[in-house]
Amino acid sequence: MTNQISIYDHKTGETIVREMTEDELAQAAADNLASKKTENIIANMAAAKQAVLDKLGLTADEASALLG
């Protein structure tokens, strides 16, 4: 992860590239952690859904057709 931030000014067409502040670095790290947690939750939900389908002996398409 780069420690630089790019800011584009639409009025002037100027792009400013600068080092991130400590607060911005902390926020970027927190955002990255939250994103990874969300990805893990989604993966766990997909695995649980597949486990239920496997127990029922259904494909995702069959379950979708049954549930409308």
Domain locations along the chain? 4-67
List all residues 6 or more positions away from 19 whose beta carbon is below 8 Å from its beta carbon. Answer: 3, 4, 5
What mean pLDDT do residues 45-67 have? 95
Rounded to whole angstroms, how far apart are CA atoms 46 and 43?
5
pLDDT value of position 26: 96
Mean pLDDT of the residues in the chain: 95
pLDDT value of position 1: 54
**Each residue's pLDDT tens digit, 24-47:** 999 999 999 999 999 999 999 999
pLDDT value of position 68: 83
